[in-house]
Amino acid sequence: MASGREEVRKEIARLYWIGYLDPTQTGRKATNVEIALKARSSSRPEPYLVVFVWNNETLSVSCDCPAGEVGQLCKHKLALLQNDASMLYNPNQKDDLAKAFKWVQTTSFSSLLNELKETERQTEQTIANAKKQLASLKQKVGRLIREGLK
């Protein structure tokens, strides 16, 4: 008869084998648990692969698109990190996306996303104000040239 520890080991091995162990539900620390999702591409017919890796309570996400390959935040990672199922190439992966999103919810991602959105908003406002100033100055220069310069 197997010990309790052996039963736990077998259960963890089984969960790893099927590719999923939800550390937020089991209370156990998971090492290198992966969920691979296929993401839609707007530039080619084949999907990109976005991989969520849970490793000792740390989440990392990678994508094999050109931006993701160089470590940039791509639209595929961003959408899936926000639980956006419309980015899935295969709608049958919604359950896997939900599992990955549970991992995301245990991280600081939501506060980082809020900071990113606020910085984008401020940047867009700054650009809009600069464009208004530029347009106003162009009108002034145009008027002065039309009326004559001294």
3-state secondary structure 86-113: HHECCHHHHHHHHHHHHHHHCCCHHHHH
Structure tokens at 149: 């310069």
Q: What is the mean pLDDT of residues 19-36?
A: 63
pLDDT of residue 109: 87
Does 77 score more than 50 pLDDT? yes
Does 39 score more than 90 pLDDT? yes
Q: How many helices (H) and strands (E) does the chain have?
A: 6, 3
- Could you report the per-residue pLDDT of 54-66, keeping only the tens digit for each? 988 889 999 999 9
Structure tokens at 140: 């002034």
List 35's β-bridge partners, or say none: 52
pLDDT of residue 55: 87
Choose the weakest-confidence range: 27-41, 42-56, 70-84, 113-127.
27-41
- Could you report the per-residue pLDDT of 40-52, keeping only the tens digit for each? 999 999 999 999 9
Residue of higher predicted confidence among 15 and 147: 147
Q: What is the mean pLDDT of residues 61-84?
A: 94
Structure tokens at 32: 């290198």
Rounded to a whole number of angstroms, the CA Rg of the chain reads 24
pLDDT of residue 18: 42
DSSP-derived pairing of the beta strands 58-63 and 33-39 = unpaired
Does 127 score more than 90 pLDDT? yes
